[in-house]
């Protein structure tokens, strides 16, 4: 599967931060950046650029906000070709907080949006592109988008948006390969002047295979996380993608090292990965928030009751 155009964006710190309120310490973030740099990963997404008016720094760690000075501390002194990415959510960013690229250590700003908010996403992406950043649009919860809405969204992005990359995001980990093929082919057909990317969640243990499916159909940007660390069931593991791609510029060994040294101990502090409640939300195409709450309760292994409760809510 060697294809030189494929870029790997590791979002371990950003997506993994959804499981600990983005409160990774600076040492850990530096170790991740070192490992990704040594492995030849193209981008590291270090967190969100969220508004401090909407989210309190007392409740969230620094990677919820990604102040430039914190990013500089995380990467200074490390020789690297790995670019830095941050994510912004529609309606959750103060655009004046994002300085021009010439004044920032950030290389890429990715805009996360639902289909219904594509107008706002285009405005943000164009604004950040004018400031000198690489940009992407990440279309979230794609499993909930109606086909005609998705078509219109893609056509509008092609006409009006300066971004070079559009991501398909399986937010609930509910999709199977046939649907991934359909969505990627549709995006490639409509987006004549943009690359297509894939961001997969592992609720049904399909994040890796769905990412492969996207690559087969010419998606050239793929999101991964080390050891699959991410919200709920997590994401497509970086180490598996490196093994699959066969690109000599990537080296899996630094990733294996950091899994041993940092991520195995981290599992004792943060729970992520395949658990039955996350599988249930994936099967039912539901947001995993209810499953996350269950895993934090004293009923966390009561799978049947959880399933029947969700079924009843869906039927209502």
What integer pLDDT is reported at residue 311 of this predicted model? 95
CA distance 231 to 165: 23
Do 149 and 242 belong together in one domain? yes
Do 171 and 297 belong together in one domain? no
Do 140 and 59 belong together in one domain? yes
Q: Is residue 271 part of a domain?
A: no
Q: Of 3, 22, 1, whose CA–CA distance to 11 is shortest? A: 22
What integer pLDDT is reported at residue 133 of this predicted model? 98
The dihedral of CA 235, 239, 243, 245: what is its sign?
positive
CA distance 168 to 171: 9
User: Model's pTM, two decimal places?
Assistant: 0.97
What integer pLDDT is reported at residue 197 of this predicted model? 98
- Say which CATH number the domain at 195 has: 3.20.20.70
Domain finish residue from 266, 284, 304? 266
Which range marks the domain in which residue 13 is found? 7-266
Q: Of 25, 75, 71, 78, whose CA–CA distance to 48 is shortest? A: 71
The structural domain count of the chain equals: 2
Cα separations in angstroms, 260 against 38, 264, 267: 16, 6, 11
What integer pLDDT is reported at residue 1 of this predicted model? 58
Q: Characterize the bridge pairing of strands 195-200 and 134-139.
A: unpaired
Upper half-sphere CA count for residue 228 (Cβ side, 13 Å): 20
Mean pLDDT by 10 residues, the chain (316 residues): 91 98 98 98 98 97 98 97 98 97 98 98 98 98 98 98 98 98 98 98 98 98 98 98 96 98 97 98 97 97 97 85
Do 303 and 165 belong together in one domain? no
What integer pLDDT is reported at residue 152 of this predicted model? 98
Look at the block and give the residue holding tokens 């270090």. 46
Q: Cβ of 277: how many Cβ atoms within 10 Å?
A: 24
Q: Is residue 221 part of a domain?
A: yes
Do 168 and 242 belong together in one domain? yes
Do 169 and 72 belong together in one domain? yes
CA distance 253 to 182: 34
Q: Of 11, 20, 66, whose CA–CA distance to 42 is shortest? A: 11
Question: Could you report the per-residue pLDDT of 46-105, keeping only the tens digit for each?
Answer: 999 999 999 999 999 999 999 999 999 999 999 999 999 999 999 999 999 999 999 999
Do 146 and 290 belong together in one domain? no
What are 12's two structure tokens?
């371990």
């Amino acid at each position: 599967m060697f294809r030189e155009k494929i870029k790997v964006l590791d979002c371990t710190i950003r997506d993994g931060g959804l499981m600990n309120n983005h409160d990774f310490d600076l040492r850990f973030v530096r170790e991740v950046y070192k490992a990704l740099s040594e492995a030849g990963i193209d981008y590291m997404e270090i967190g969100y650029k969220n508004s401090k008016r909407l989210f309190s720094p007392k409740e969230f760690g620094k990677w919820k906000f990604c102040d430039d000075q914190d990013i500089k501390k995380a990467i200074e002194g490390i020789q690297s070709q790995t670019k830095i990415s941050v994510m912004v959510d529609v309606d959750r960013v103060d655009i004046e907080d994002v300085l021009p690229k010439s004044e920032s250590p950030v290389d890429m700003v990715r805009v996360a949006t639902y289909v219904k908010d594509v107008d706002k996403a285009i405005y943000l992406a164009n604004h950040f592109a004018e400031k000198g950043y690489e940009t992407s649009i990440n279309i979230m919860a794609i499993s909930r988008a109606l086909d005609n809405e998705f078509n219109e969204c893609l056509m509008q992005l092609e006409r009006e948006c300066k971004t070079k990359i559009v991501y398909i995001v399986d937010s609930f980990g509910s999709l199977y390969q046939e649907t991934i093929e359909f969505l990627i082919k549709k995006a490639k057909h409509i987006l004549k002047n943009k690359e297509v990317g894939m961001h997969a969640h592992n609720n049904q243990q399909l994040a890796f295979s769905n990412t492969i499916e996207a690559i087969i159909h010419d998606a050239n940007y793929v999101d991964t996380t080390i050891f699959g660390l991410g919200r709920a069931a997590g994401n497509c593991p970086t180490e598996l993608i490196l093994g699959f791609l066969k690109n000599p510029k990537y080296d899996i060994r630094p990733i294996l090292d950091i899994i041993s040294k940092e991520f195995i101990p981290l599992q004792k502090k943060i729970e992520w990965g395949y658990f039955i409640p996350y599988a249930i939300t994936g099967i039912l195409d539901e947001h995993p928030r209810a499953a996350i709450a269950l895993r934090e309760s004293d009923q966390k292994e009561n799978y049947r009751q959880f399933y029947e409760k969700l079924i009843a809510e869906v039927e209502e």
